């Protein structure tokens, strides 16, 4: 499964929620505490998604836009 994610690094608390945009498309908004330095935010994102979807971190890959707040993430074998 591939999903579009909007990441908010450096947040006070960690949270994940589905948000609908103007075109009625759902985007997952992920707030993480890690800052976007040396890949810390990407590692924090993968850890948060692993907990949220209850899958191992090795099953989550950032497919597009590694350095952007908007990302496409692939989650393998979600049941």
CATH of the domain at 18: 3.30.1200.10
What is the count of structural domains for the chain? 1
User: What is the domain range of residue 29?
Assistant: 2-75
**What is residue 16's predicted lDDT score, i.e. its pLDDT?**
93
79 — pLDDT class (breaks 50, 70, 90):
low
Q: Looking at the predicted structure, is the pLDDT value of residue 70 above 70?
A: yes
Average pLDDT, the chain: 89
pLDDT mean over 3-14: 92
Sign of CA dihedral 34, 5, 71, 49: positive
Q: Are strands 2-8 and 26-31 parallel, antiparallel or unpaired?
A: parallel
The predicted-structure confidence for 19-60, as pLDDT tens digits, reads as follows 887 777 788 999 999 998 888 999 999 999 999 999 999 999
């Amino acid at each position: 499964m591939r999903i579009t994610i909007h990441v908010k690094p450096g947040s006070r608390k960690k949270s994940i929620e589905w948000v609908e945009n103007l075109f009625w498309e759902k985007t997952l908004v992920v707030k993480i505490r890690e800052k976007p330095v040396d890949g810390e935010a990407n590692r924090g994102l993968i850890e948060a998604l692993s907990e949220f979807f209850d899958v191992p971190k090795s099953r989550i890959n950032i497919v597009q836009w590694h350095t952007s707040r908007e990302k496409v993430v692939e989650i393998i074998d979600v049941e």
